Amino acid sequence: MGEAVRNKMRICKIILSMLGVMTIIGGTLAASDEINKKAIFDLSNGLETHVSVKTGQEFCLKIKSNPSTGYGWALDQPLDETMLQLIGHDVEEPGETAMPGAPQFEIWTFRALKLGETAIFLKYVRPWEKDTPPVKMHRIIVSIG
């Protein structure tokens, strides 16, 4: 009987040790996941948006457009490439039930490179109309912490 109790105690100690290690690993992974999570910012309202992200974090800007009119969003000014990296620019297709000509969303993905503040300037234009002013503009102030 004494040997059976000692074996159960050993098993309990092993299980508790494993749970402790898993808790530590889980906390570390959660912290690194925080940086790796993409924050998505909707630019539907207004002409200016303020966003806060962490150094090394990727984030997305989601803004409505209507490609059927020929208009789309483009960078109005070059990025400060010491602060931000453009990762990608995609169009989120509308669902199968969307009417022809329905608005879509453009998704701009960036990575924050270092601490500080910078801005992204977007313009809504027809790319072939070089001498025509933008129909809309949007300024995004990015605070990187």
pLDDT computed for residue 9 by the predictor: 56
One domain for residues 42 and 29: no
Residue 67 — very low, low, confident or very high, per pLDDT cuts 50/70/90? confident
- What average pLDDT does the segment 114-119 reach? 98
How far is 62 from 76, CA to CA, in rounded Å?
16
How far is 63 from 66, CA to CA, in rounded Å?
10
One domain for residues 101 and 140: yes
Q: Provide the b/e sequence for 55-91 (b: ≥16 CB within 10 Å).
A: eebbbbbebebeeeeebbbeeeeebeeebbeeeeeee
CATH number (domain holding residue 63): 2.60.40.2020
Of 71, 67, 75, which Cα lies nearest the Cα of 126?
Answer: 71
Number of domains making up the chain? 2
One domain for residues 119 and 139: yes
Record the pTM.
Answer: 0.71
pLDDT computed for residue 20 by the predictor: 47
pLDDT tens per residue, range 4-43: 656 555 654 555 455 444 444 444 334 345 445 678 888 8
Residue 135's domain spans which residues? Answer: 37-144
One domain for residues 81 and 127: yes
One domain for residues 22 and 47: no
One domain for residues 52 and 88: yes
One domain for residues 28 and 41: no
Task: Tell me the average pLDDT of the chain.
Answer: 82
- What average pLDDT does the segment 86-90 reach? 96
One domain for residues 83 and 49: yes
